[in-house]
Amino acid sequence: MTRFEFTIEGDANRKRIDDFLFEKFSDIGKKYLRSILKHEKCEINGYIANAGIRLQTNDFVELEIDDTSAKKILPEKMNLEIVFEDSEIIVVNKPIGMLVHPTPKHREGTLLNGLTHYLNRQSIEKSSKEKTNARLALMRPGLIHRLDQHTSGLMVVAKNAFALRVLNDHFKRKLVEKKYIAMVEEIVKSDNGTIDVPIGRYSEMKHWNVKFNGKAAETHYRVVERFTDSTLLELEPITGRTNQLRIHCAYIGHPILGDEWHGKRAFRRLCLHASSLSFLHPSEGKRLKFSSKVEFGLENL
């Protein structure tokens, strides 16, 4: 059993406890997480939590997860571009087209499948060599942030619970700096600017877009280079809303090239790449910064 404790912050205020757990433990099956609530194994402020209760800021959540019962991610051997690794974290350059974590329809082929194999490769190879059927206690990669399937670029993943907890806190406190490179349609006239419009989910259409009673969302942009009918931008999301960069670029009349939902021009890929990632090391405290180049096909960066 692994014990987890959380103090609820403002972004989770009024969120249902089950939805909170689904987001916090995205690599564990929802059925198992629901069973924790059903069997009264989760407490809020010392009281048994039921699935429908809504969290409030500063609530203290406690639960235990049985690693032998929680749904495991299937390890898959794949070629991963590892940018940096130590005993606590791993930085990887995610390729375009790869999902970050499994879904009910896609249980294999995701980044977490590959990282699970990579982090446990010695144990897996030893088990295979010895032809043992013993269940392996696999190290589970801790997902801190995500990239869309069609967005490539840098991600940091935790290798233990301590690093996961610290980096989650750093993300919430906006101590992590992320920048993206995007090729957008048409010519952006201003050299730089800020897009500050809220984003929300339209339940009837099951998608996210600008919604004036949604959550605050802010993006800074800077022109890197202008081409004949497109502009290369550097984007810095200050908030982390779903599809924020795609929505904000479309809002100012410059959809990201290859955005099938918001754009007008088809392209061989979505021209969005997480090019820069800077954060504080979870235990050493020093700032680490990583960069990644990309080729969209219109230019070389």
DSSP per-residue string spanning 197-256: --EEEETTTTEEEE-TTSB--EEEEEEEEE-SSEEEEEEEESS--TTHHHHHHHHTT-PB
Q: What is the maximum span of the chain, computed from C-alpha positions, in angstroms?
A: 64
For residue 136, pLDDT over 70 is answered with: no
For residue 283, pLDDT over 70 is answered with: yes
Contacts of 219 (CB under 8 A, 6+ apart): 194, 195, 196, 235, 236, 237, 238, 239, 244, 245, 248
For residue 300, pLDDT over 50 is answered with: no
pLDDT the model gives residue 258: 95
pLDDT the model gives residue 275: 98
Domains, in order of start, for the chain: 2-65 (3.10.290.10), 82-169 (3.30.2350.10), 176-291 (3.30.2350.10)
pLDDT the model gives residue 282: 96
For residue 191, pLDDT over 80 is answered with: yes
Q: Which of 148, 169, 191, 259 is catalytic?
A: 148
Give which of 291, 221, 231 is closest to 256, Cα–Cα.
231
Helix axes 17-24, 30-38, angle to 10 degrees: 140
**pLDDT tens track for 7-43:** 888 888 899 999 999 888 766 778 888 888 988 889 8
> Is 27 among the catalytic positions?
no
For residue 270, pLDDT over 80 is answered with: yes
- The secondary structure of residue 129, as a DSSP letter, is H
